[in-house]
Amino acid sequence: MTLRVPPGSALVEDELMRELGIGRTPLREAIKRLALENLVEIRPRRGTYVTEVNVADIVHITEVRAELEGHAAQLAAMRMEDAGRAEAEALLAELEDLDPRDSDALMHVDERIHRLAWEAAGNPYLAETLERYFALSLRIWYLVLDRVPGLWTAVHDQREMIQALLTRDGARAHELMKEHIRAFQREIVVAFTR
């Protein structure tokens, strides 16, 4: 997801087994799962490759994520329990101390905000689906991260969504999360043209 292995790269089983310190069977099981998640492509008799990233992918992913994550945020606002509320408060405090130049920290906090909403929604099937789409989105982010000037603003603006969760304003949380994801799409499309 972080593009340590670039899109289009061939995966060589023997090298991966050596690097990861695992056997052939667990490696093949992992590759099958990655293929199900569209992160690798298995080409019979030719090998396994990290899937390419296409700008059109973000449009398709956003169509799904915006609706589902908006719904998750709305559910989270209604269902959030004390532990989730404490985590939300901690994230608000952490957002105030973020360094706008630290892309890794910004990405990490953004991911935790999304996960907070998924988990607080209390629907394991929704959370599992969103995990998959988030992973696909994350690959695209890492591809263009150095060309996205608005990362700090996008993450910092999540304060409003967290506050909507804390005040149990489901409709507002829904709309703010949808807009956050749509803004992500706009930033990515612009970054691909840079």
pLDDT at 188: 83
pLDDT (tens digit per residue) in 50-95: 988 877 888 899 999 999 999 999 999 999 999 999 999 999 999 9
The topology under which CATH files domain 10-50 is Arc Repressor Mutant, subunit A (1.10.10)
pLDDT (tens digit per residue) in 111-128: 999 999 999 999 999 999
* 55-193: CATH class: mainly alpha
**Ramachandran assignment for 45, one of left (phi > 0), alpha (psi -120 to 50 degrees), beta (any other):** left
Give this prediction's pTM.
0.81
Q: Which of 115, 95, 117, 120 is nearest to 106 (CA)?
A: 95
Question: Please, where in the chain does CATH 1.10.10.10 lie?
Answer: 10-50
- What is the dihedral angle through the alpha carbons of 74, 79, 84, 85, rounded to the nearest 10 degrees? 80
